[in-house]
Copies of this chain bind each other. A is one copy, B any other.
């Protein structure tokens, strides 16, 4: 540039006024976010200006790329297989990563899966895995790369050195009312995924009352932003919009979801959980060009679940990451179990017309399955096992779910969770016609 670089306050004003910032300017701003030279209040003002003005695809690509480069980027080029990951925007009961990564690995694709923890109804994938006695998610990146190469997958947590710019932006967004911005959401997701050294990504974008994206239009906007960032970085990206109006599967809670994931890897499990695993896995195989098309990919994933090869990979992963591999064969003996398992019953007869995911998730959190603040300790065995699905007919007194917890019977959290759960279930005279699939749309 001939002229002097603009100051941070000038960049804020330019974005505020709807101007597009140059790639150099965006990189400079992210550098200042990373090294702390731009103070919190200027970062906050920029985030709010971006909330209102958005970003062009070009801005988004430069901003996300700078976030990736703010930290370490894994080099998995020594692994000859295609490297494909999946990211979900998150939903109650979403344990799909756990059967998915081994199934895709069993089909010959490398899945380098680095996850966060996050707050919410249940723990993240890491917390679920940690409910397996001995399982460690804090492997160093050399060991991680080795296991991805040897076993096809490995599941670990982010180190502080992955996308540090995102860590600062994420913390500030949370307290400045700038979480719900498509370009900021997309760049946050992609900064961490692109740092994994992947060739392609399948995004599972949840849509519905229980999801971050409440409607399909906003979900499509997020997908477009994710794809713009991915394509600028020369990565293949497929986005799958999936329905999140009810919890995924029957298990909500960390150890409960591991058990359900193992059922799926044994060829069983709830039909929606199996479907999501197969469809997302099929897209991953197609992105890797291991399958002829996504239908072929789905057939291969289904076979890996049914013939035990996915479970074989998972058994090796559990062992390699310090866990007890017997969990794959006798989950009920290995996983922690709650002392109390209390049925919650229907107060009247009728048809289940709605099951509000977020309220059910909050009920599980209250029982100990999730964190309300980052310092909360998760109770791995706590959670909810659903005994009904939307559309089911129930009789008065019939169990709708079983609450699993280790609380005293008179602990007010038990009553709170029960009433929260019952408030989430709508029973009407007739059930509306139910979806037979969770898949709403696939954007390849």
Contact = CB atoms under 8 A, between A and B. Distances in A.
Interface of A: 9-10, 12-13, 16, 39-45, 47-49, 51-52, 172, 174-178
A43 to B, nearest CB: 7
Contacts of A47: 45
A178 B45 contact: yes
Given A42-B175, A45-B178, 14 more contacts: A12-B176, A12-B177, A16-B51, A16-B178, A40-B40, A40-B41, A40-B44, A41-B41, A42-B44, A44-B44, A44-B48, A45-B47, A45-B176, A45-B177
Contacts of A176: 9, 12, 41-42, 44-45
A339 to B, nearest CB: 33
A39 B40 contact: yes
Contacts of A16: 48, 51, 177-178
Contacts of A44: 40-42, 44-45, 48, 176
Contacts of A42: 44, 175-176
Question: Which of A41, A174, A177 is packed against the most chain B CB atoms within 10 Å?
Answer: A177
28 contacts: A9-B175, A12-B176, A12-B177, A13-B177, A16-B48, A16-B51, A16-B177, A39-B40, A39-B175, A40-B41, A40-B44, A41-B43, A41-B172, A41-B175, A41-B176, A42-B175, A42-B176, A44-B44, A44-B45, A44-B48, A45-B45, A45-B48, A45-B177, A45-B178, A48-B48, A48-B49, A48-B52, A49-B177
Contacts of A177: 9-10, 12-13, 16, 45, 49
A174 B12 CA distance: 11
Q: Is the interface of A mostly helix, strand, loop or mixed?
A: helix
- 5 shortest A-B CB distances, which residue pairs? A12-B177, A48-B48, A45-B176, A41-B44, A13-B177
Contacts of A39: 40, 175
Nearest to A178: B45
A178 B47 CA distance: 13
Contacts of A52: 48, 52
A52 to B, nearest CB: 5
A384 B52 CA distance: 43
A174 to B, nearest CB: 8
A19 to B, nearest CB: 12
Nearest to A10: B177
Contacts of A174: 9
A33 to B, nearest CB: 12
A180 to B, nearest CB: 8
A175 B7 CA distance: 10
A13 B47 CA distance: 13
Contacts of A178: 16, 45
A188 B283 CA distance: 57
A40 B172 CA distance: 11
Contacts of A48: 16, 44-45, 48-49, 52
Nearest to A48: B48
A236 B220 CA distance: 53
Nearest to A51: B16
Contacts of A51: 16
A252 to B, nearest CB: 27
A157 B45 CA distance: 30
Nearest to A50: B48
A202 to B, nearest CB: 31
A40 B174 CA distance: 14
Contacts of A172: 41
A41 B16 CA distance: 17
A337 B43 CA distance: 46
Contacts of A175: 9, 39, 41-42
Contacts of A9: 174-177
A9 B176 CA distance: 6
